[in-house]
A = this chain, B = another copy of it.
Amino acid sequence: MKNLNSNWVTEVFKDTALSFKIKEKLYSKKSKFQHIEIYETEKHGNLMSLDGCYMVTEKEEFVYHEMLVHIPLFSHPNPQNILVIGGGDGGTVREILKHQCVKSIDFVEIDEDVYKLSKIYFKNLTRGLANDKRVNFLFGDGIKFVKEKKNFYDVILVDSTDPSDISGGLFSTDFFKDVYKALKKDGIMVMQSESPFYDGEIISNVQQRLKKIFNKTYLYLAFIPIYPSGCWSFSCGSKKYSINKIRNKKSVIKGLKYYTHNLHKSILSLPQFVMDLMK
């Protein structure tokens, strides 16, 4: 055991721990909902953790945000009305705005402090959001919000923390039913759904619940170095479209660092042990 001194931040996840060398702690305070900490790291830019779990680093955030957003938004032929639940750091909305066809984004984050702090410490994630008239800032409970909507959204994205007191409901059958109702008849939903290496049971449960509600369900993966195991899954429920075909020809996005159309087309080619989680 090498002992790490106070110049490191550590996230313990079950029997594993991941640490980053830091320059300084920038912020640490309990919001109404969770403990928010922000660090300046040595080489990964600023890092935010919520209740001790890493959410985002400036250097690696492109992977999560590009893969949560562009897979469904390129799979849908004409995504116009989007709902984002969670994602208070702004990165998900930033990526959605790159699609020219998008007309409106309802951005429902439960913890307004996360967004306010991101405006200060994660400027690359929040830049341009406040001035874009397509974004409706609706701070509040996404579970309640989606109950009131019917046949309205083309795409719903659930950008949550790990299942916990405040986010556990976002992994439930009742919530998925409400999401289904809130989507148009050809709508798509995607949510983050944990690591297949360390949380296979969560993935299996989410997949089984989605299968009871949606015509088509999918799982895909991305390399996310700051999350436990570095392998992260996204679960998808779709009413009509398969998730591995490019149908949205209206958007041309330059400068992406992870997503490519080629990668998109092969997104369903998964390791065997991950496919086994979907049975």
Contacts and interface: CB of A to CB of B under 8 A. Distances in A.
Contact of A1 (B6, B15, B257): B6
A8 interface: yes
Given A221-B223, A223-B223, A229-B223, A269 B265 contact: yes
Nearest to A11: B2
A35 to B, nearest CB: 13
Nearest to A230: B230
A20 to B, nearest CB: 6
A273 B258 contact: yes
A16 interface: yes
Contacts of A230: 223-225, 229-231
B273 A269 contact: no
A5 B2 CA distance: 10
Contact of A14 (B3, B43, B52): B43
Interface string A197-228: 11000000000000000000000010111000
Contact of A10 (B4, B256, B272): B4
B257 A197 contact: no
